[in-house]
Amino acid sequence: MLVKLAVLFSGNGSNLENILEKLHQKTIAKNSYEVVLCLCNNKEALGIQRAKKYNLKSIIIDHKNYKTREEFDEVLVQKIQESKADLTILAGFMRILSPVFTKQIKAINLHPSLLPLFKGTNAIKQSYQSDMKVAGVSVHWVSEELDGGEIITQKAFEKHNLSFEQFEEKIHALEHEILPLSVVKIFS
């Protein structure tokens, strides 16, 4: 089966590039994967250049051009539906999505903490500063609740005496490991 993927991102695009490297135009088990849409809400995002390395043009939809979150989400939904993507991946897409999106699009999100702990944008810092002895990353289904959908995959590590920079590197390495594995798991 050909699995079509849409990837939404807002910045650096390292998770986008990871998906492109590990899944785009690859066959794993009985499925072939193709990224059919790269969509970004930030015209300055480095991820746009990363997509170009794979001959993919990113669609840029600036959320600042819309009066409401719902208007922006309507355009996202339209572009995703036009792409005929089977799954949408939020890979560092820094927008809270409304029910206009969540009720119509089958999507997963990568989050840099062991959910349900440390939801929202400062998860890495909060996780690092917590008294917990372990930290990690989660991939979950997107729902109306921020970082609240059913968890698909999690991976943890012991914090030990890591500096913040080492901790952040470990988080990103785990993100790159579990995001493509989660996509494969969904379709196997």
Helix axis angle, 164-186 relative to 14-22, nearest 10°? 40
Q: What are the tokens at 96? A: 């809270």
**Catalytic residue status for 111:** yes
Instruction: Give me the catalytic one of 24, 111, 140, 176.
Output: 111
* 47, amino acid identity: G
Find out whether the peptide bond into 180 is cis, omega within 30 degrees of 0. Answer: no
Q: Which helix (H) or strand (E) holds 90?
A: strand 87-90
User: Of the candidates 107, 161, 168, 165, which has an alpha carbon nearest to the alpha carbon of residue 137?
Assistant: 168
How far is Cα of residue 118 from the mean position of the Cα atoms in its chain? 17
Give the residue numbers annotated as catalytic, written as ranges. 111
